[in-house]
Amino acid sequence: MTIDQVQLNFNPTTLTIMNIAIAIIMLGVALDLRITDFKRTFSSPKPILIGLTGQFLLLPAFTYLLVMAIKPGPSIALGLFLIAACPGGNLSNFLTYLSKGNTPLSITMSAVSTVIAIVMTPINVMFWGSLYPGTNALLRSFTISPVDMLISIFMMLGLPLIIGMLINYKYPLFAKKLNKGMKYFSIIFFIVFLLAALAANFTYFIQFVGMVVFVVFLQNLVAILSGYFMARTMKLPEVDRRAIAIEIGIQNSGLGLILIFNFFDGLGGMAIVAAWWGVWHLVSGLTLATFWSRKKPKTQPIDEGLHV
């Protein structure tokens, strides 16, 4: 049996719990957000526009070039396209803070990219997946409605974002207290979710993970470097470069896994790519953050007005 024929298993009850849990994580992120955070998009849009361009345009395009160069199996390639289409992961804000980067920029990028992902994630998956022959055939083998995927992402990300921000607006003290517990929950949940996905399919994971280790390493490296050097080319200060590099390099692979089980029946190559991404970006992100934490940026954040 090849990796393209493997289907990883998550029972419906567990999958429902995972959908609810990731919505709760997004609610926790939203408890730390205010409308003023989004105003930076309009008052000082350059850093955010650069970051979002890297997140939703350059990374998927570079991933397509990577796939064309190394020609992985179709299900692996589709997994790479899906991960590239996801918004930044919820650990990016912490890693940016550890890196002495522009944490307010990271928070704003996470919030804005989450909203944009409701539309851009299904569009990117369908667009780039249709351009590569193997993945195009795979997409046709599944009955996937971009509208259904959009609604699913909205329920997991968009609705909790709105509710969390409303709670923060109406009850800021309660939101602040609740947010501390939510942050711990998000980290613990992410680890438990990965372990559950791997434990339920351990034999397949061990058998096939070697096929994705190198390509995930390359995609993650491309994500980090493209973010950093694009920001550098656009003459952003060092603190913004670090924030953008981490935001693009830390993908929401938990969301990716849930979409894979919801819409692609746990397709082997896709699920193993997303699961290994969840492991690897923690390693690469913490390594990079630790390195940068020992090197003071040459400049300070452009705007200290946003709360952290």
Confidence of residue 3 (pLDDT cuts 50, 70, 90): low
Whole-number percent of the chain with pLDDT over 90? 30
Residue 304 counted as domain residue:
no
Q: Which of 8, 147, 124 is nearest to 55 (CA)?
A: 124
Query: Is the distance from CB of 81 to CB of 17 less than 8 angstroms?
Result: no
Residue 261 counted as domain residue:
yes
Residue 248 sits in a domain whose CATH number is 1.20.1530.20
What pLDDT was estimated at residue 64?
A: 96
Query: Is the distance from CB of 251 to CB of 187 less than 8 angstroms?
Result: no
What pLDDT was estimated at residue 139?
A: 84
Residue 300 counted as domain residue:
no
The mean per-residue pLDDT over the stretch 283-291 comes to 92
Residue 7 counted as domain residue:
no
Structural domain including 179 reads 12-293
Question: Which pair of tokens denotes residue 41?
Answer: 């998009």
Residue 6 counted as domain residue:
no
In 10 A of CB 177, how many CB atoms?
Answer: 12
Rounded CA separation 85/166 (Å): 27
Residue 2 counted as domain residue:
no
Matching residue, tokens 């060092």? 238
Residues 6 or more apart in contact with residue 234 via CB below 8 angstroms:
46, 50
The mean per-residue pLDDT over the stretch 10-35 comes to 72
Length of the chain: 308
Confidence of residue 245 (pLDDT cuts 50, 70, 90): very high
Tens digit of pLDDT for each residue in 23-67?
Answer: 777 787 778 777 776 676 567 788 999 999 999 999 999 999 999
The mean per-residue pLDDT over the stretch 125-148 comes to 84
What pLDDT was estimated at residue 301?
A: 43
What pLDDT was estimated at residue 303?
A: 43
What pLDDT was estimated at residue 59?
A: 96
Q: Above 70 in pLDDT, residue 190?
A: no
Residue 299 counted as domain residue:
no
What pLDDT was estimated at residue 57?
A: 95
- Check residues 36 and 253 and name the one with the higher pLDDT: 253
What pLDDT was estimated at residue 187?
A: 67
Please name the residue ranges forming H helices in 54-132: 59-70, 74-85, 92-98, 103-131
What pLDDT was estimated at residue 305?
A: 39
Report the domain count for the chain: 1
Whole-number percent of the chain with pLDDT over 70? 83
